[in-house]
Structure 1
Amino acid sequence: MAESTRTLDWNGANGDHWVAYEEKYNAAMFRYGERLFAGADVHPDDRVLDIGCGCGQTTRVAAALAPEGSALGVDLSAAMLAQARARAAAEGLANVRFEQADAQVHDFADGAYDVAISRHGVMFFADPVAAFANVRRALRPAGRLAFVCWRAPEESEYSGVPRAALGPYVTLPPPGGSAHEPGPNSLADPDRVREVLGGAGFADVQLEAENEPMDLGADVAEALDFVLDRPHVHAALAETDAATGAKATEDLREALTPYATPEGVLLRAPAWLVTAHAPA
Structure 2
Amino acid sequence: MKLILSRKGFDSANGGCPSPILDGQLCSLPIPDAGAPTRYAEISSFNGSSIVRIVEDLTRGRVQQSDGAHLDPDLRRDAIPRSAGWRSIFGQAAAAQSHLARQEVGRGDLFLFFGCFRQAEKVGGGFRFVRDAPKLHVIFGWLQVASVSRATSELAIEIPWAEGHPHLAAPERYKNNTLYFASDRLSSIGLKTRGAGTFDRIRPELILTKTDSNCSVWQLPRWFHPNGRPALSYHSKPTRWTDCDDSMRLQSVGRGQEFVLDVDEYPEARGWLRSIFRAANS
TM-score computed with the length of structure 2 as normaliser: 0.29
Looking at secondary structure, tell me which structure has more helix per residue: 1
